[in-house]
Structure 1
Amino acid sequence: MFNLADAIEVPHGGNLGEAAVRYGIPRENWIDLSTGINPHGYPVPPIDPQAWIRLPDDDDDLEAIAAAHYGAPRALAVAGTQAAIRMLPAVLPKGHIGVGRLTYGEYAPAFERAGFQVERFVTSPFADLHAQASFVLDPARELPEDLLHLILVNPNNPGAERYTPDQVMQWREQLRARGGTLIVDEAFVESMPELSVANRVNDEGLIVLRSIGKFFGLAGARVGFVLGCARIDRAMRYLRGPWSVSGPARGVVRTALLDTDWQAQTRANLAASGARLAELLARFHPAVSHTPLFSWVRDAQAARWQDKLARHGIWVRRFDAIAGFRFGLPADEAAWARLEAALNVVKAEMGI
């Protein structure tokens, strides 16, 4: 039986209300950079009023459109990646599963609750912290012999590590030979499509999760997709049940997935904005890595940075598993200017 006393609340970005109360600054005066969501999301078209009245049509063409978009044989629509994470332990055999020490925080508790032995790893850029992990994930090394499953966020959130499809598939082959599975979370890969392995999910041993929230800026729609072999698709479909994605959300996401012109322009815009953010932060800190949607700064004084930036009305996400903080993209030139000005003041205050 689930024991509420044992529940662990996983912190996330987007908690601007908490920051507003803590620092006494009204919400409208903040620049929220605490998530990696595209601040210029897909322009939502008018929604058919009947979409609010009818039950969602699980048999529409949304999943076929998603499968074609991802180059996968099939796609299962779910209420965001979070819903898939809660279901995944039920479709995999129990055993040791590798989860990054610095990665999306919902995976470890979901599998621990289900009775899996979670082995925390660090990636090779953080190999100096090997004593704080079960193993170092490195393409040049074999996976630990007792590892049955592995969760890989590619590109990683928040550390921005990335792996080529060939590197990813090497890990998949090692796990498949043991009867295990590689789960690849591609929530941020839409802006870096060359990293995706979505087109390789037809066989056992590989599950890919895709998100609509980050690149398309539709986090509020709560839509994601599970890509896997036929057996996994059937099992997850049964666990998901009917009507998990609302009718209005289905219509908006369908339109966004078909709008290839918007996608191409957005990839170019995000690449430029992501590089601009990384270049700006590099003027204030030597340890910056980035994707088109966010930058990560490793720093033992991350809590001080977050606090001082917050006093200027700029909210960033702090991480403690490996000390550092993440910046999302400013939405406009005024926000860019405020961020740069605040960084200049904080740098002076911290004596850097």
Structure 2
Amino acid sequence: MRSAGAIGAGDLAEDGIWHGGDLATARALFPDAPGPWIDLSTGINPIPYPLPELPLSLWTRLPGADDEAALLAAARAAYRVPGDAGIVAAPGTQILIELLPRLAPAGPVAILGPTYAEHAHAWRKAGYVVTEAARPEEAAATLVVVNPNNPDGRLLSRAEIAELAARCAARGGLLVVDEAFADFTPETSIMPDLPASVVVLRSFGKTYGLAGLRLGFAIGAPDLTAQLAVALGPWSVAGPALHLGAQALADAAWLADAGEARARDAARLDELLAPRGRIVGGTSLFRLLETPAAPALFARLGRHGIYVRRFQNAPDRLRFGLPGDEAAWSRLQQALAADVRQASPSA
């Protein structure tokens, strides 16, 4: 019998990649854990954008061109997209990651890693030879950079991104910059400058706490975004997502308040985690803890009904998302305190 917290083939997605948010696996690993589960395995804002009442017509008619235009206008303003760049909306950035190989020339692809595993997986499925580059200078003509990075928060400056873009362009390649976690730190974005050889991805659901809405954007040269739009086809984004996305992206005050609040939450989480290991990075939506006791800590938290993110290739690391309310903070604090008590010889 497998012990709680052990890893088996049944714990993996079909593609062999682990993802956050998989509470079915959590329940299978820890069937006796108390509920409700606290899912800290994702980097999603736990305090979502307040949902307004939606007109019934959004559910009963096909999405309209005017609705899409309003969303794209709001996204252009929120992301500071230059006027000569193209932008396309999609039902989440994952589908855009799957489509990006259609835009790049043949040849090797480098992923600045370690990072979100779906990038390498998508390029390999498309037939590209993919390598993980530890440093940008090791990159091929086509390079993928997640900035800020997931899961360690590694950050390249705008000048460094611009230099990489020039290098990729000189080699006839493409630079993909995944800015899924850049909303709360807009100064880290390559926007409003956008070299012609760059495609930027932006994720709506993480920042606005509405991941189930499935909404994301690709920004780049108009010929590149046009190819993505053709591949996506008509009505690719649902009417409610167009409506809610446009409203939320235009709400700059909410974004600013949420960014300040999540930064305070991240500092609070650091205080809880620091006695358990070394905090090696993160963003204001998640923190990365390094400790040789990571497998035991993962299992102990699981038995308390708290699910955190573990990694196939880094078993000494755990990523913690932010608790969403005081009850969740209290349960996490108690579970971590239990960890210390059990580790103490006098316990």
TM-score, normalised by the number of residues in structure 2: 0.89
Is residue 16–residue 27 contact of structure 1 (8 Å, CA) maintained in 2? no
Partners in 2 of 1:252 and 1:112 — Cα distance?
A: 34
Secondary structure of 1:29's match?
Answer: coil
Match of 1:81 among 72, 93, 100: 93
The answer for the alignment partner of 1:250 in structure 2 is 242
1:14 equivalenced with 2:34 (yes/no): no
Residues 142 and 175 of structure 2 are in contact (CA less than 8 Å); yes or no, is this contact kept in structure 1? yes
Kept in 1: contact 2:33–2:304 (CA 8 A): no
**Contact persistence 1:143–1:171 (CA under 8 A):** no
Indicate if the aligned counterparts of 2:158 and 2:190 stay in contact, CA closer than 8 A.
yes
- The Cα shift of 1:91 comes to 1.3
Residue matched to 2:5: none
Map 1:1-352 onto structure 2 (within 5 A).
8-25=15-32, 28-60=35-67, 61-72=70-81, 73=83, 74-121=86-133, 136-137=134-135, 142-144=137-139, 147-201=140-194, 203-323=195-315, 324-350=317-343
Shift in Å, 1:262: 0.8
Does the CA-based 8 Å contact 1:17-1:27 persist in structure 2?
A: no
Q: Measure the CA separation in 1 of the matches of 2:179 and 2:197.
A: 16
Partner amino acid, structure 2, of 1:104: Y
- Give the percent of matched residue pairs that are identical in Structure 1 and Structure 2: 40
* Compared CA separation, residues 20 and 51, structure 1 to 2 (3 A): same
What is the CA–CA distance in structure 1 between the aligned matches of 2:36 and 2:58, rounded to whole Å? 35
Residue segments in structure 2 that go unaligned for 5+ positions in a row: 1-13
Residue by residue, what CA displacement relative to the aligned partner does 1:257-288 show, whole Å, maximum 9, x if unpaired?
Answer: 11111111111111111111122211221244
Q: 1:350, CA displacement in angstroms?
A: 4.5
Q: Structure 1 239/27 Cα, relative in aligned 2: closer, same or farther at 3 Å?
A: farther
Q: Could you tell me which amino acid in structure 2 is paired with residue 143 of structure 1?
A: E
Q: Deviations over 1:112-131 (max 9, x none)?
A: 0111110112xxxxxxxxxx
What secondary structure, in the 3-state scheme, does the structure 2 residue paired with 1:75 have?
strand
Q: Structure 1: how far apart are the matches of 2:334 and 2:34?
A: 20
Mapped to 1, the partners of 2:289 and 2:157 lie a distance apart of: 23
Correspondence for 2:10? none
Stretches of structure 1 lacking an aligned partner (at least 5 in a row)? 1-6, 122-135
Q: How many residues align?
A: 326
Residue 351 to residue 117, structure 1, CA distance change in 2 (3 Å): farther
| Contact preservation (8 Å) 1:198, 1:227 | no
Q: Distance in 2 between matches of 1:222 and 1:185?
A: 16
Report the aligned-residue RMSD.
1.8
Q: In the TM superposition, what is the alpha-carbon distance from 1:182 to its structure 2 partner?
A: 1.1
Which TM-score applies when normalising by structure 1? 0.88
Q: Deviations over 1:318-344 (max 9, x none)?
A: 012233110000111221121122112
